[in-house]
Amino acid sequence: MPRTVRTRVTAALLAAMALTFAAPAPMGAQVSPTQSTTDPATLVADSIGLTADSVLTAAGNVEIFYQGRTLQATKVVYDPTTDRLVIQGPLRLTDEETGTVVLGSQADLAADMTEGILTSARVILNRQMQIAAAEVRRGQGRYTEMATAVASSCSICGNGPPLWELRARRVIHDQEAQQLYFEGAQLRIAGVPLAYAPRLRLPDPTLERATGFLTPRIITSTALGFGIRQPYFITLGPSRDLTLTPLITDGGARAIEARYRQAFRTGTILLQGAMARDDALPGAGRGYFKADGAFSLPQGFYLTFTGLAVSDTTYFTDYDLPDQDRLRWNVAVGRTRADESFTGRVTTYQTLRADETNLTQPSVLADVTFERRFELPVLGGMSGLQVQGFAFGRSSTVATDTDADGFPDGRDMSRLSAQFDWRREWVLPSGVIVAALADVRGDIYGVQDDSTFDGRILRGHGSGGVELRYPLVKREAATGARQVLEPVVQVMVSPTTPATVPNEDSPVTDFDEGNLFSFSHFPGVDRLEAGPRVNMGLRWTREAGTGWVLGTALGRIWRESTPGGFNTGSGLADAESDWLAALRVTLPYGLAATARSLIADDLRMTRGEMILAVTRPRYDLSSTYLWAQPDAADGRLVQTSELLLSAGYYMTPQWRASATTRYDLEAEREVSTDLGLTFRNECLLFDVSLSRRSSASTTVADVTTVDLQLDFLGFGGAREAGPARVCRR
């Protein structure tokens, strides 16, 4: 039999047809929403018929579109006297606004599809949570009531049970409140009943934030014992929330953690901390507090602040928090533009190191810096101006060094500096690039509580130089590779010897590619280089057409005499610096390697590091090796040799294992180890981690912590789902 031609009829036309054949509507009867010409519905079907009593029948591939809702069915009968739709399935009702999909075998619905009854139905919320029920009732355009229901966000293969499911006598979905209410709820894992709750309330998948319990975490620690963390999330409005997390362990630990977040029109703040009592410090309260914030201010300025405080030095280790040996409070205001920047900071420090005391450490620092870049008239080239004010204070007033740390115990210092630099380049016909360089600065120091330096110190300093670069480029026609070889020579002269001032910001120096061609190789400004010197380097890079890159660099500094102020491990302490050698390799299949070392004339390595990383879709590997000779100025009284290894592997698209370890090769001991195993699919997150922190101290014990987390995905929108289960035939 030939297929009927599909017919499209608007609600306005349906209404006209109904009025033509039907008797006048009784007084007080409501006009059907499908008869509204201002908000019309659209009906599409293979065939449409209208009886004398105005009953409309649509059959064959029926589709109705109304106010963002779509109904697909085999047959639909509309009776205008009752304003209802009788539907034969299989049917599919989709609400585009909420993402809700309802499937069923048959239904009796209101004309606007906001209420009615469906049998043998399945409700899909936000394309994630599925609820199957013997009967579904929709009411008031808000509530969906499901009897004898099974809910799960897991994929189902064949006739087997889902990975997890919630069975209930009745489930009510409040679409407006975005909540699911279960009566007689039973949790099953792989079909096995594990837990029962007479009443249960859970957020639906569309709800991002709601007051209630979050997923608990189970921990076991050698410091605290076996325990559980149970977070409770509290919404305080659309822009604020509070999370309270009690922690109870069988080792006697009782703690309450709190996190407060608030978003403003121009920024955010985050406050978090904890209070605890445990057997590590019997009878004493322990805890920490942390604050972070960032705000946008008018005219492009920003404001940030951060702070951290803790009750004792071992709290972070005992409670498996990131280790800190110095605590800092910082407030900063700044602005960055294309040609200028401004930053103002106030910072306070508190040391937790056993060999330091807060009386003799700089406790309060203030820093204001303004920089601007511009083209210099007449001479041409690019110039920069920097103005900086800096000050700090110590609590002690002792003017001598009684603790042998290299600084007077009570020295306070302030500095006002101005620096001007200039650079201009010329390209010669031979391809050589010649640059002229200049740098001039002036400083005013104020020093108190120092037996060597006292009062005001004026200092001026200037440097000039010439730089020659000869970039050579070669292209390989056969492979498409590109090679760049660039020798660089800088001849620098500092005709003035700067006045001696206290050295607070440059006691430790490093030598790498970043400061090879610098006016000064000190990290700060309290020490400046004087006299003639030559900075030389050679860089070579090869970029292959297949995507791999190989780069090398070699450099050294020659001076007229031995400089002062450089620590022995920096590679800069002698008149001729150590050789700086660097290698970088990048391969297209995810391999990257970087090696950097300082080598003395006798080919003895004074400092070296190597980083190797492999990143592939299924696994990732990385390793870092660091070696350094002893350097008392840097706190290294013995040779340093450490290895850091990290690896991650997807055993399946859902299962991932990870491991990270840090090992002290010199002391032959493990510093830290972290192991993790994670399962994540479309409906479940399982994570177990083990962390071990070893202590070199004889008074602080090693700490091992095991953390277990299990999340049922699909409720709320906070957790991102993983790869879906693939059903095998």
> 483-533 pLDDT, tens per residue?
999 999 999 998 877 888 999 989 888 898 889 999 889 999 999 988 899
pLDDT tens digits for range 666-675: 988 899 999 9
> Is residue 193 one of the residues assigned to a domain?
yes
Identify the sign of the CA torsion 17, 22, 28, 32: negative
Q: What share of the chain in percent tops pLDDT 90?
A: 51
pLDDT bracket for residue 654 (50, 70, 90): very high
Q: Are 36 and 14 in contact (CB under 8 A)?
A: no
Give 367's pLDDT tier (boundaries 50, 70, 90): very high
Asked if residue 93 lies in contact with residue 71, where contact means CB atoms within 8 angstroms, the answer is: yes
How many independent structural domains does the chain possess? 1
* Distance separating alpha carbons of residues 721 and 297, to the nearest angstrom: 37
In a domain, 672, yes or no: no
Q: Summarize pLDDT for 587-644 with one digit per residue, the tens.
A: 988 899 999 999 998 888 999 999 999 999 999 999 999 999 888 777 777 889 999 9
Kindly report the average pLDDT of the chain as a whole number: 87
Q: Is 483 helix (H, G, I), strand (E, B) or coil?
A: strand
DSSP class of 99: T
Q: What is the mean pLDDT of residues 177-202?
A: 91
The answer to whether residues 370 and 400 touch, using CB atoms and an 8 Å cutoff, is no
237 within domain boundaries: no
DSSP annotation string for 284-333? --EEEEEEEEEEE-GGG-EEEEEEEEESSTTHHHHTT----SEEEEEEEE
Q: What is the pLDDT of residues 107-133, one digit of tens each?
A: 887 777 677 888 888 888 877 788 999
Decide: 145 and 137 in contact? Cβ < 8 Å: yes
- pLDDT recorded at residue 23: 29
Flag whether 17 is in a domain: yes
DSSP annotation of 126 = T
Q: Could you tell me whether strands 240-249 and 232-235 are parallel, antiparallel, or unpaired per DSSP bridges?
A: antiparallel
| Residues 634 and 569 sit within 8 Å (Cβ to Cβ) | yes
What is the three-class DSSP state of 139?
strand
Q: 346 in a domain, yes or no?
A: no
In a domain, 35, yes or no: yes
Cβ pair 58, 48 in contact under 8 A: yes
Q: What single letter denotes the amino acid at residue 87? A: I
**How would you label 113-140 residue by residue, b for 16+ Cβ within 10 Å and e otherwise?**
bbbbbbeebbbbbbebbbbbbeebbbee
- Non-local (6+) Cβ contacts of 159 within 8 A are none
Band of residue 158 on the pLDDT scale cut at 50, 70, 90: confident
Q: How many CA atoms lie within 13 A of 145 on its CB side?
A: 10
- Stretch 562-585: mean pLDDT, rounded? 91
Contact call for residues 330 and 366 (beta carbons, < 8 A): no
At position 301, the amino acid (one-letter code) is F
Q: Which amino acid is at 696?
A: A
Give 616's contacts (C-beta < 8 A, 6+ positions apart): 589, 590
Whether the link from the prior residue into 532 is cis, omega within 30° of 0, is no
Kindly report the CATH number assigned to the domain that includes residue 22: 2.60.450.10
Provide the 3-class DSSP secondary structure of residue 563.
coil
Cβ burial 572-598 (10 Å sphere, 16+ → b, else e) = bbeeebbbbbbebebeeeeeebbbbbb
11 within a domain of the structure (yes/no):
yes
Cβ–Cβ < 8 Å for 231, 244? yes
> What are the pLDDT digits (tens) for 269-314?
999 999 999 887 887 889 999 999 999 999 999 999 999 999 988 8
More confident residue, 719 or 372: 372
Contacts of 611 (CB under 8 A, 6+ apart): 592, 593, 594, 595, 622, 623, 624
**Phi, psi (5° rounding) for residue 634?**
-100, 10
> Is 400 within a domain?
no
Domain that holds residue 149: 7-205
DSSP conformation class of 645: E
